[in-house]
Amino acid sequence: MVETLEKELPNLNGLTLLVVDDEPSIVRSLVRVFTGLGAEVTGVGSIREARLQVADKVPDAVLADLQLKDGTGLELLPDFLERNPEGAFYMITGHGSVANAVEALNQGARHYFEKPVDPLLLARRLAADLADKKAREGLARQLSSYLIFRDAAMADALVDLPRFACSTEAVLIQGETGTGKELVARALHGLGSRAQEPFVAVNCGAIPESMLEAELFGHEKGAFTGASHRHPGRFEQAHKGTLFLDEIGEMPLPAQVSLLRVLEEGRVRRIGGEREIAIDVRVVAATHQSLEERIESGLFRHDLFYRLHVLPVYLPALRDRPQDIALLAQHFLGNSLRDMGWEGPQPGLEDAAVALLQGYDWPGNVRELRNLMARLAIRIPAGMREIRARLLTPLLPGKRRRGTAGREGVFIPEGTTLEDAEWLLIDAALKASDYNRSNAAKLLGIGERTLRRKLNTPS
């Protein structure tokens, strides 16, 4: 009986937890229970003490009472999530405080519990969230040779990728331009049993319609004007391996008919050829378009869609995975600096610079961020240790994130220095005036000479 009970108890080994409640008996009880389950627990009774603890050592999770003597536990949430974006924040609420608890969930809290709290129920929730975090970290390590991420939105999108890699069924990857669809295709190939066989990529939107079928299925010598030799198609080239059909939504309808036949029969016939050739190819298709809408418009065959849409992958836009922005920015910056022969440690991004990047809408997604970091690397002075927002603002177009969309104004991230805020205003005025310095000075309410002096002041 004792062994059965121990097996049912959640395991919190490795979890660091901060408990915040101004009732000492509740703090002692929760600390005792969670410590007994393997967690490293600190208990405090006020907002002030909690902030000191978070500043000293950021825990994996915070469990805070909503009503405290020196404020509300909700006040801890923004600072905690800023320091530990992957952290879990939980609220304890009294009777009648559900509305406040819902507000906490809207601001990023993981869950809320009403008093009296059942410690075992709470511990099971902590254990489940800890297991989810470990699973995401394990997935990120497994895919690290192909993709870099830590945001839960990206982890959720890729959670089935290792299992998909072991299958031979078709995969359809959907997502905006620049989200990394080809990288996902390469991961599917590299993690599967065909990893040592060819990976062949075709951009269906980049090949003229008249040449697409010859490119995919091959042609015999003399099959058409200019066919001076026999040409094995991409399906033959990918035999035993993976064929990646990028921008499948751009494929013309006649080629869709031929593709469907090949997928169903597993055989191709070269243009001008008399015999069919058996092929063994795993097909991965990708598109930034809505194939459902193209089906309704008569531009994509519904039977081909269902033949490809066996194992779907939907990649989130970069703006929807904000915790990956700084991670990717540092990665791309490091690559660019190494290519330039940069000596010494790589400069980091100050908090205001990170906030600036997270506040941008990224219409070009990860590809746009990579290009931005390449431009930034060229502008960094030798020996710089920290990149300030001021260095980034001239590189970012005026479009901002959805949170500020539809409003006229300038996005100034929290924590921006007065000097950098001034540069944000100058940059916005220059963009608004189409870089006419005289008009920009008028918008700023300063003289043109003053503006020229500020622009010529070294960083």
Q: How many CB atoms lie within 10 A of CB 37?
A: 19
**Residue 408: is its pLDDT beyond 60?**
no
Cα angle 75, 17, 53 (rounded to 5 degrees) comes to 55
pLDDT, tens digit, 9 for 90 and up, residues 93-120: 875 556 666 777 777 788 888 888 888 8
pLDDT, tens digit, 9 for 90 and up, residues 366-381: 999 999 999 999 999 8
For residue 405, the model assigns a pLDDT of 37
The beta-strand segments (E) located in 188-292 are: 199-203, 218-219, 231-232, 242-246, 267-268, 277-278, 282-287
13-22, 87-96, 305-314 — which one is most confidently predicted on average? 305-314
Q: Read off the pTM.
A: 0.75
Q: How much of the chain exceeds pLDDT 90, in percent? A: 52
* Pairing between β-strand 218-219 and β-strand 311-314 as defined by DSSP bridges: unpaired
CATH class for the domain made up of 2-132:
alpha beta
Is 308 in contact with 172 (CB distance < 8 Å)?
A: yes
The domain ranges of the chain are 2-132, 152-316, 323-456
pLDDT, tens digit, 9 for 90 and up, residues 119-177: 888 889 888 888 888 888 899 999 999 999 998 899 999 999 999 999 999 999 999 99
User: What does pLDDT average to over the chain?
Assistant: 87
Fold: same for 2-132 and 152-316: yes
Where is average pLDDT lowest: 41-55, 351-365, 408-422? 408-422
CATH class for the domain made up of 323-456:
mainly alpha
117-131, 193-207, 224-238 — which one is most confidently predicted on average? 193-207
CATH class for the domain made up of 152-316:
alpha beta
**Phi, psi values for residue 173, rounded to 5°:** -100, 125
For residue 96, the model assigns a pLDDT of 55
